[in-house]
Amino acid sequence: MSSRHLASAICPVPPAQGTTGKSGAGPRLYSAMRSVPEDKPTRILRETERLLRIYGHSKLTVADVADGCGFSAANVYRYFSSRRAILDALASHYLCEAERTALACTIRNSDSARDRLSRFLTGLNTALTAFSDFEPRVSELLADATTEQWPCYSHYEARLVRNIAKILTDASISGEFRLLSEPEQEARRVKAAACALVEPDVILLCRDRYDVSTREALSRLIAAALSNRSLSPG
């Protein structure tokens, strides 16, 4: 599946004014990123991605990557300390792309925090699910990175909490949400409630159990719970 088709499955929410709405708004494979001139680390990652999409990450070796690049394994180790480091760099790219796609769905500042939170969770889930649908080897890589707590996942989790906390902070200031604790702690609770939407390993495990409408309803339910709490007597 090409990155064009992968991207076209993303963002069920209409693009905000001033955006192009083109398929490029979706998550991109590493090979779709432009790098001129192409340096050796980029070449290594692109070759790793090519092999990953064919064989899966568990069967990849540094020797395979080096052979595909046309140089020695020692040359690969000049830029990456291990096979895991190469895979972690690729997984980090995919997680950042999913996050970028989700953030693109929240840029309409005129919308309520409730809608922005719901769209962020839905957008992130749609991007991660697109990998599962169109690039299953990528989805398997992300699931293992999550389960084994690779550095890329730790960074993803921290960014995810920050992005949710930002929405909650804005909502608290405007009076739309009434937070019971610090925004970051509340954001971690939201993340836990939305695990079926934002955790790559859970998404891979439960992909066929919940249809799109159910997943979208869950994101709205989480956002509505925060909104309804703000309307409850103090």
Q: What is the CA radius of gyration of the chain?
A: 19
Confidence bin at 21 (pLDDT 50/70/90): very low
Q: What does the CA dihedral 180, 185, 186, 191 come to, rounded to 10 degrees?
A: -160
User: What does the pLDDT read at residue 38?
Assistant: 78
- 149: phi > 0 → left, psi -120 to 50 → alpha, else beta; which? left
Can you give the pTM of this predicted structure? 0.87
215 vs 21, higher pLDDT: 215
User: What does the pLDDT read at residue 131?
Assistant: 95
* Domains identified in the chain and CATH numbers: 3-231 (1.10.357.10)
Ranked by mean pLDDT, the top range of 2-6, 216-220, 223-227 is 216-220
Average pLDDT over residues 145-173: 97
User: What does the pLDDT read at residue 230?
Assistant: 54
Average pLDDT over residues 149-157: 98
Q: State how far the alpha carbon of 169 is from the alpha carbons of 27, 130, 164, 173, in Å.
A: 27, 30, 9, 6
User: What does the pLDDT read at residue 24?
Assistant: 44
Q: Where are the beta strands (DSSP E) in 42-147?
A: none
Q: Is the confidence at residue 136, as pLDDT, over 80?
A: yes
User: What does the pLDDT read at residue 8?
Assistant: 47
Exposure of 207 by Cβ count < 10 A (0-12 exposed, 13-18 middle, 19+ buried)?
middle
Average pLDDT over residues 88-102: 97
Which of these, 121, 98, 102, 144, lies nearest to 6 by C-alpha position?
Answer: 98
Confidence bin at 87 (pLDDT 50/70/90): very high
224 vs 227, higher pLDDT: 224
Task: Specify the amino acid at residue 76.
Answer: V
Confidence bin at 37 (pLDDT 50/70/90): low
User: What does the pLDDT read at residue 36?
Assistant: 57
Task: Specify the amino acid at residue 232.
Answer: S
